[in-house]
Amino acid sequence: QVQVVESGGRVVQAGGSLRLSCTASGLTFDRYTMGWFRQAPGQEREGVSCTNWSGGLTDYSYSVEGRFTISRDNAKNTLYLQMTNLKPEDSARYYCAVGNDPYYFGGYCKTADFGHWGQGTEVTVSS
């Protein structure tokens, strides 16, 4: 059974930094694309950043490119999202997800390509 657990969310001031972590178990982690998504109240879930099985390919949404960095440690079955220069509009619940198909990387973060989701971790950026 695949389990996905996010951590690291908290309240941070605008301009600050935060690192989210995600551990996944019950799968061969280094075969799968991994992604970060977020959802603010009243809004649809959106893709933030994704990376292929090796970490060599990445994609970022326009709103976070240049401020967020996705990375993974396959030896630890862990995905990270380093967030810098945070803005109030980054406030949301952040979810980690596992790609549906081994080795497939669609080039951008589409929720339909991801099947296993964590419960999320809350990020609040105060102005």
pLDDT of residue 121: 98
Tokens matching residue 77? 């079955």
The answer for 15, left when phi > 0, alpha when psi is -120 to 50, beta otherwise, is left
Alpha-carbon gap, residue 24 to 11, rounded angstroms: 24
Alpha-carbon gap, residue 77 to 110, rounded angstroms: 22
Reading the chain (127 residues) residue by residue, the pLDDT tens digits are: 999 999 999 999 999 999 999 999 999 999 999 999 999 999 999 999 999 999 999 999 999 999 999 999 999 999 999 999 999 999 999 999 999 998 889 888 999 999 999 999 999 999 9
Tokens matching residue 76? 């630890």
How does 117-127 read in b/e, with b if 16+ C-beta sit within 10 Å? bbebbebebee
pLDDT of residue 81: 98
Tokens matching residue 70? 């996705």
